[in-house]
Amino acid sequence: MNVIAYLIPISIILGGIGLLGFVFTVKSRQYEDPEGDAQRILSGDYDDKPKA
Amino acid sequence: MTAPMRPQASACPACAAAPAAEALAELDKPTEADIMLSLPAIHCSACISTIERALNAAPGVHNARVNLTLKRAQIEADPGLTAADMIAVVNGVGYEAHELDAGALRATATDRAGRDLLMRLAVAGFAAMNVMLLSIAVWSGAEGATRDMFHWISAAITLPAIGFSAQPFFRNAWKALSARQLNMDVPISLAILLAVGTSLWETTLSGEHAYFDAAIALTFFLLAGRYLDHRTRAIARSAAEELAALEVPRAWRLDEKGEEQQVSVADLKVGDLIRVRPGGRMPVDGEIVFGQSELDRSLLTGETLPVYAAPGQKVSAGEVNLTGPLTIRASAVGRDTSLHRMADLVAIAESGRSRYTSLADKAAQLYAPGVHILSALAFVGWYLYTWDARVAINIAAAVLIITCPCALGLAVPAVTTAASGRLFRKGLLIKDSTALERLAQIDTVVFDKTGTLTTGTPDLANLGDFTRVELEVALALAEGSSHPLSVALTAAARAHGITPAPLDNLGEIPGYGTEATWQGRTVRLGRAAWVGGGQTRQTSAWLAIGDDPARPFLFTDSLRDGAAEAVQALQDMGKKVILLSGDTPSAVEDLAKRLGIPQWASECLPQDKSARIQSLTDKGQKVLMVGDGLNDTAALAGAHVSISPASALDAARVASDIVLLGSDLSPLPDAVKTAQSATRRIRENFTIATWYNIIAVPLAIAGLCSPLIAALAMSASSITVSLNALRLR
């Protein structure tokens, strides 16, 4: 049973990392243009190097 | 801008870990010219990259980004650059672009409330998943110290999560209570607090049942409903504001030296001399002091025929100057103009409209007192039966949790989101949250004529009456003017492959027509009195070649796309269709016959229209008003539900519940059908939610409701109503 002493904190920390990632995406306004983002993936504009 | 965005440390520990986001927000500060363009025609990735490449390559542009969802481009550029330069660039690569008033859009550009809700939703979701994981262990038989530990961990996750996520409910409930009222948020807050409180108490006593998972799952589902609701309204609001922002309010004032200065309409004063160019709208009421032209008053009165304008004549704000430049002296500005007096009429009509109670409000009125009484009775009953406060409170809490309106909170937003999204794709913008429910009830449809059923632009009717040579002369004359009749004549002649005849000394005489010499003879195209023509029943422009008698080109008002189909479909659905117009009887009768509308009235004043609507309403009919002009605004505000096209005046759009974004009227009957099925889904969802309660509440009152049953009932009912909403056709 001692294994849960590791597993529970690990599961909470992993979930917390996901939450932090989500908070970051909201703060940096990545949900302002969902349709545009879906379309931009089809363009080859910045395939070789990211936009400066 | 950055300071209010910085979250409090206690509210969101994660924010400190996101310095990159802060830096991004810093970059957003408008240190340079900030230009916003509306791009109504973009739809794919090729459009995005073409426009962005063109804009970014333009000299002086620092950064340009296209937003496909909002169909806008935001450009940061050198201070010297104007929106007109940017529009030229976008037009150059083949796209339509309009300037947006960045000031009017500032509020929607940063959707703070939406991001705030999304953040709370994410925290609630994260906590709910983790607590559910621990609860499964308890449900499957963890006992003693293990169960207590799991309960304590659940409490450690749930308490801060609820403290952050459930704030909107607590705040609304507090607001309602301090106003001595009861809303949906009161039972919600009570259920959440009671569930957390009793669970904590049970945990300290190593009790068997803890409802941490129920409390946090409840918060999550309800926040999901709130977020859906917010999204639907935010999209509608930003699109509506964009329509308003398209009309950038500017005027050209003449200073003492007679030079034009561009000023904001708000800065105009009585006595100012204002230059109104052809195609421009009168910004204020006034009197013409210089220039001759024709005025289009269709938006104010519904008349299609342009009116001759000369010095000394009074003009009203909102009229459109057609042919020659005019100088007017302002006699009333701002709130005193006739445009604003019309708006006052709207306010009166609006106060007369009985406040519509939405289905959700009706449900809440029944529901909120009901659950409190039920839960209080359960507490009293069990206390008298067992004389054990702990058992009684546990059961009262279980009743509140079970009855808590998870499904009710989702039932309406899920359906309206699905329906609004569907209608938005068809080109209809739902501005008011109860508009769909009201649209579903209508039995009478009242149309305005000019600008609603017709486009307000003329169509040439008798091209065949003229010889080719005459048409060539007429075309050459018409091309010398931008008057709507000339434009219609040009389009019709060009479509028949006519080429313009060579003319000399071509010139436009504003307010009268165009004149030229052709093979040594004077040729004229214009008003009957000037050219030497007579009276006609229809709109006409007269052509005279030399001394030959003048002959009229007759015009009819062209029908809006889909108008005939829409009227037909509405009549097939059993709706009564009525046409009310401010235009002349002959013009209205023609149109009514063409569309098969049995009931019509002409020369209606704005007061007549709203009185008509009022009398229909008094007879118990539910009226849908479709109109675009200032003369319609009072009627739009007074009707049960109202629709206006995007080309309508600002005041008309504000007064209506739904805005038609495209130029086609055919989505109207579809909208009525969608509204009806949406209302049906909402009712079904209420029924489903009620059945869950009917089954689960007796279990809760009997004290048989374990946290497992509560979790199952809640999730199952929430998911069923969401799926039911998606069935919407």
Mutate to test the interface with A, among B6, B22, B49, B149 (most CBs of A within 10 A): B49
Q: What is the DSSP string of B367-388?
A: HHHHHHHHHHHHHHHHHHHH--
What's the Cα-to-Cα distance from B222 to each of B127, B188, B413, B577, B691, rounded to whole Å?
Answer: 14, 9, 10, 41, 19
As its CATH architecture, domain B417-455+559-676 has 3-Layer(aba) Sandwich (3.40)
A11 vs B20: CB contact, 8 Å cut-off? no
Q: Provide the edge-to-edge strand list for the sheet that holds B428-430.
A: B428-430, B658-660, B641-645, B623-626, B444-448, B576-580, B599-601
Provide CATH code, domain B13-104.
Answer: 3.30.70.100
For residue range B462-495, list pLDDT tens digits in order: 878 888 888 888 888 888 777 778 888 888 888 8
Question: Which tokens hold the place of B18?
Answer: 């996101």
Task: Find out whether B381 and B402 touch, Cβ atoms under 8 Å.
Answer: no
Q: Half-sphere exposure (CA, 13 Å, Cβ side) for B134?
A: 31
Closest-CA distance, B56 to chain A, in angstroms, reads: 12
Q: Which of A5-9, B106-110, B279-283, B431-435 has the highest mean pLDDT?
A: A5-9
Tell me how close the Cα of B188 comes to any Cα of chain A, in angstroms: 25
Averaged pLDDT, B521-533: 83
Neighbours of B606 (CB within 10 A): 22
Cβ–Cβ contact A17 with B under 8 A: no
- Quick one: pLDDT band at residue B344, thresholds 50, 70, 90? low
Per-residue model confidence (pLDDT) at position B124? 94
Q: Which helix (H) or strand (E) is B328 found in, with range?
A: strand B326-332
Q: Is the pLDDT of residue B402 over 70?
A: yes
Contacts for B517 with CB less than 8 Å, ≥ 6 apart:
B503, B504, B505, B523
Does B244 have pLDDT greater than 80? no
Residue with the larger pLDDT of the pair B230 and B243: B230
- With beta carbons less than 8 A apart as the criterion, state whether B720 and B412 touch: no
- Portion of chain B with pLDDT greater than 90, in percent: 6
Q: What is the pLDDT of residue B123?
A: 93
Instruction: Provide the 8-state DSSP code for B514.
Output: E
The partner residues of B327 in beta bridges, in order of sequence, read B275, B290
Q: Which of B24-38, B326-340, B566-580, B676-690 shows the lowest per-residue confidence on average (mean pLDDT)?
A: B24-38
- Please report the pLDDT score of residue B127 as a whole number: 92
Maximum mean pLDDT: which of B546-560, B609-623, B644-658, B693-707: B609-623
Catalytic residue among B432, B448, B557, B583: B448
Of these ranges, B227-231, B242-246, B255-259, B404-408, the one predicted with the greatest mean pLDDT is: B227-231
Q: What's the whole-number average pLDDT of chain B? A: 79
Q: What is the pLDDT, as a whole number, of residue B165?
A: 93
| Domain extent listing, chain B | 13-104, 112-234+356-414+705-726, 248-334, 417-455+559-676, 456-557
What is the C-alpha to C-alpha distance for residues B19 and B17, in angstroms, rounded to an integer? 6
What pLDDT band is residue B143 in, cutting at 50, 70 and 90? confident
The closest CB to that of B48, out of A23, A24, A36, belongs to A36
Mean local confidence (pLDDT), B581-610? 83
Return d(Cα B37, Cα B100) in angstroms, integer.
5
Matching fold, domains B248-334 and B456-557: no
What single letter denotes the amino acid at residue B624?
L
Mean pLDDT of all residues in B582-590: 80
What is the model's pLDDT at position B21? Answer: 40
Helix (H) or strand (E) holding B460: strand B454-460
Q: What is the mean pLDDT of residues B124-144?
A: 87
Which of chain A's residues have a Cβ under 8 Å away from the Cβ of B147? Answer: none
Helix (H) or strand (E) segment spanning residue B217: helix B212-245
Q: Determine the 3-state secondary structure of B663 from DSSP.
A: coil
For residue B52, the chain A residues in CB contact (below 8 A) are 45
Q: Which amino acid, one-letter code, is at B693?
A: N
Overall fold of domain B248-334: 2.70.150
The answer to whether B322 and B294 are in contact (CB under 8 A) is: yes
CA–centroid distance for B497 within its chain = 42
The reported pLDDT for the residue numbered B156 is 92
Please count the other Cβ atoms lying within 10 Å of the Cβ belonging to residue B178.
8
Residue B205 has pLDDT above 90, yes or no: no
What pLDDT is recorded for position B155? Answer: 93
pLDDT computed for residue B167 by the predictor: 92
Rounded mean pLDDT of B142-165? 90
**B120 band by pLDDT with thresholds 50, 70 and 90:** very high
- Helix (H) / strand (E) element for B141: namely none
- Cβ distance B17 to A20 less than 8 Å, yes or no, reads yes
Helical packing angle, B185-204 and B144-165, nearest 10°: 150
In this predicted model, which residue has the larger pLDDT, B524 or B364? B524
Chain B residue with the nearest C-alpha to that of A38: B45
CATH tag for B456-557 (out of 3.10.105.10, 3.40.1160.10, 3.40.960.10, 3.40.1110.10): 3.40.1110.10
Distance CA B625, CA B629 (A): 12
Report d(CA B537, CA B148) in Å as an integer.
91
Q: What is the pLDDT of residue B249?
A: 65
Q: Is residue B217's pLDDT more than 60?
A: yes
pLDDT for res B343: 58
SS3 of B166, please?
A: coil
Give the model's pLDDT for residue B295: 82
Separation CA B236–CA B646 (nearest Å): 13
Contacts 24+ apart (CB under 8 A), B165-172: B165/B120, B165/B121, B165/B123, B165/B124, B165/B127, B165/B216, B165/B219, B165/B220, B165/B223, B166/B124, B166/B192, B166/B219, B167/B120, B168/B117, B168/B120, B168/B223, B168/B226, B169/B219, B169/B222
A 10 A CB-CB count for B146 gives 14
For residue B23, what pLDDT is reported? 39
CA separation, residue B577 to residues A11, B108, B131, B400, B566 (Å): 63, 37, 58, 49, 10
pLDDT of residue A26 exceeding 80, the answer is yes
Closest approach of chain B CAs to the CA of A48, in angstroms?
Answer: 15
pLDDT over 50 at B18, yes or no: no
Q: Which residues of A touch B68 (CB under 8 A)?
A: 33, 35-36, 39
* Residue A8 CB neighbour total at 10 angstroms: 17
The reported pLDDT for the residue numbered B12 is 38
Judging contacts by C-beta atoms under 8 Å, the chain A residues touching residue B46 are: 43
* pLDDT confidence band for B636 (50 / 70 / 90): confident
Contact B429, B71 (CB under 8 A): no
The residue-averaged pLDDT of A16-35 equals: 86
Provide the pLDDT for residue B347: 58
DSSP lists the bridge partners of residue B508 as B514
Q: Is the pLDDT of residue B519 over 50?
A: yes
pLDDT level of residue B110 (50, 70, 90 thresholds) = low
- Provide φ and ψ at B539, rounded to 5°: -60, 135
At residue B44, what is the residue type? C
Res B708: pLDDT? 78
User: CA separation (Å) from B727 to B407, B412, B417, B425, B720?
Assistant: 16, 14, 12, 17, 11
pLDDT reported for residue B587:
79
Find the CB nearest A31 among B25, B118, B134: B118
d(CA B620, CA B626): 19
Q: pTM for this one?
A: 0.70
- Interface A-B, measured as beta-carbon pairs within 8 A, has a size of 81
Could you give the CA distance from residue B149 to residue B143 in angstroms, rounded to a whole number?
10
Q: Count other Cβ atoms within 10 Å, centred on residue A15.
A: 17
Question: Would you call B608 a catalytic residue per the annotation?
Answer: no
Backbone angles phi, psi at B295, to 5 degrees: -115, 140
Q: What whole-number distance in Å separates Cα of residue B224 and Cα of residue B235?
A: 17
Rg of chain B's alpha carbons, rounded to an integer? 32
Residue B24: pLDDT band with limits 50, 70, 90: very low
Tell if the CB–CB gap between B12 and A42 is shorter than 8 Å.
no
Ranked by mean pLDDT, the top range of B2-6, B33-37, B51-55 is: B51-55
Let me know if B140 is exposed, middle or buried by CB neighbors in 10 A (0-12, 13-18, 19+).
Answer: exposed
Q: How confident is the model at residue B424 (pLDDT cuts 50, 70, 90)?
A: confident
Question: Which range among B67-71, B172-176, B236-240, B506-510 has the greatest average pLDDT?
Answer: B172-176
Pairing of strands B513-518, B521-526: antiparallel
Averaged pLDDT for residues B19-29? 40
Region B394-413: mean pLDDT is: 78
CA–CA dist B461, B451 (Å, integer): 19
A36 to chain B, any CB pair closer than 8 A? The answer is yes
- Position B538 confidence tier, pLDDT thresholds 50, 70, 90: confident
Burial B544-574 (b: 16+ CB within 10 A, else e): bbeeeebbbbbbbbebbebbbebbebbbeee
Answer with the residue of higher pLDDT: B538 or B691.
Answer: B691
Given a contact cutoff of 8 angstroms between Cβ atoms, the answer to whether B586 and B537 are in contact is: yes
CB crowding B524-533: b at 16 or more within 10 Å, else e: bbbbbebbeb
Q: What pLDDT does residue B4 have?
A: 39
Q: Quick check: A42 contacting B, CB < 8 Å?
A: yes
Cα(B650)–Cα(B251) distance, integer angstroms = 17
Measure CA of the first residue to CA of the last residue in chain B; give whole Å.
43
Q: How close, in Å, is residue A24 to chain B by CA atoms?
A: 6
